[in-house]
Amino acid sequence: MSANFFRSTRRVAALALPAALLLSAAAVFAAAALKISVDPYTNVTSQHQTQVEPDSFAYGSTLVAAVQTGRFYDGGASNIAWSTSADGGLNWTTGYLPGITKYQEGGPYDRVSDPAVAYDARHNVWMISSLAITESPVRGAAVLTSRSTDGGLTWGSPVTVTAVGDVDKNWIVCDNHAASVYFGNCYTEWDDVGAGGRVFMSTSSDGGLTWGARTPTVNNAGGIGGQPVVQPDGTVVVPMNSSFQSSILAFRSTDGGATWTKPVTVSAVSSHRVAGNLRTSPLPSAEVDATGRVYVVWQDCRFRIRCKTNDIVMSTSTDGVSWTAVVRIPIDIRQSRVDHFIPGLAVDPATAGAGAHLALTYYYYPNGACSAATCKLSVGFVSSADGGASWTRPQQLAGPMTLSSIASTSQGRMVGDYISTSFSGGLAYPFFSFANALAGSVFDQALYTTAPGIAMSEALDGAATVAVGNEQPVPNAQSDRPEAQTIVTQR
């Protein structure tokens, strides 16, 4: 067990999981780090006791998280695990999606990846989108939607959104704005590697039971890692990476998903290659506040001399077309050696504008100039109570962990291409993959959150805020990671 975790605090319902483990570090919250899922699979073809790449969503007092479980080296996992709390994070029930892979109730697919969670308030349906994968060769065979009609406590066999092409990096969102003419529409996004990385969208108006034809943007744009969000008037804005991960783009629909615009450029990307062969990339994390301002964050090195480490940076938009200049979230001073990456942003949906509450979970190395043997990977957290104008000083949620303790993939050691944060009842709930030390050759990498969630007042207590300054990027800042020469896939 890591030296940074000790003594039990509370239990998780429905599975005989280890009790929650309390984080001990120099600067921590009263909230404990809570393990809410485990890998139960034993197939010899994937790595076990591994869970990576969580997403989450909250509506009212219900939180649902989903995570890859039993990670394969060359793409995907044995299944997707889900964890649901119906009481604002006090108790958790966990299980595994049926009908997808051959490792759970005889599903038709070999593997599955890229979970994303949504809730449809009009139809009272929880959904988990996932990427079904076949072997020999490994390819994205379908985008699926699993549905729950009882508050995320049981899940049915999946509905197929698309089974055309070689698909990757799906995402899902629903329009939960009662005043929107498209209230109850849900939107799934993905890219098709076999079609040159072209991005497609599909719309459901019946709680995910059926999905419309796949629809490209008006110019057949390519991209990866799109995260659609819905504004109060029903406009859907989709920030994403370009196909070669050299820029952040955004496109939108104002007609309920019938058509999708040509993407605009939010910003070019300058990204530092993270040490230790850790799998990271500048995929965006996107959220929207109560009045429709869209917030996008990603890892970027433009504010660092010689691009030696990454910051988490942010841009915002009220219409998905015009975007603010990129600002650095001031987690550390620009001269620090800390490297920050894999952000998961949340915006409290009850807040907006200068009073918007933002919560950001991310991974970091205290010293980015490390090696696979020496890198110390931790989970950090900062928040803002003024729409991102200022941020709390960083807090450590978990860590450090060694890279040898986390799942290995063909693209590097993996905690996830993305992680997640959600607000419920004004509290922020981070969801992240954390690994204790290996027990011999056995992993101990699982899905964690905090118990209870993190209150904004707690985040501010004893942690003076740091204003976002009028900082300018380093002139001619350039990525020190080679630009992709082929369409990027991240399964």
DSSP 151-173: SSSS--PPEEEE-SSSEEEEEEE
The end-to-end CA distance of the chain, in Å, is 29
Interatomic CA distance for residues 316 and 296, integer angstroms: 6
Q: Is residue 474 part of a domain?
A: no
Q: Which amino acid is at 170?
A: N
Instruction: Give the range of the structural domain holding residue 434, as residue numbers without chain letter.
Output: 5-467
CA distance 62 to 72: 31
What are the pLDDT digits (tens) for 230-249? 999 999 999 999 999 999 99
Q: Which helix (H) or strand (E) holds 267?
A: strand 264-268
Write down the pLDDT at residue 465: 74
Structure tokens belonging to residue 171: 């995402």
Residue 472 covered by a domain: no
Residue 275 lies in a domain: yes
Domain assignment present for 37: yes
Structural domain tally of the chain?
1
Q: 478 lies in a domain? A: no
- What pLDDT was estimated at residue 464? 64
Q: What is the pTM of this model?
A: 0.93
For 54, the 3-state DSSP assignment is strand
* Model pLDDT for residues 402-448, shown as the tens digit of each residue: 999 999 999 999 999 999 999 999 999 999 999 999 988 899 999 99
Residue 121 resides in a domain: yes
Low-confidence ranges of the chain (pLDDT < 70): 1-31, 458-464, 483, 485
DSSP string, 83-137: EEESSTTSS-EEEE-SSSBTTSTT-SBSEEEEEEEEEETTTTEEEEEEEEEETTT
- List CB contacts of 157: < 8 A, sequence separation 6 or more: 98, 99, 146
Q: Domain with 205 in it: what CATH number?
A: 2.120.10.10
* 105 domain-assigned: yes
Which of 263, 270, 166 has its CA nearest to residue 223?
263
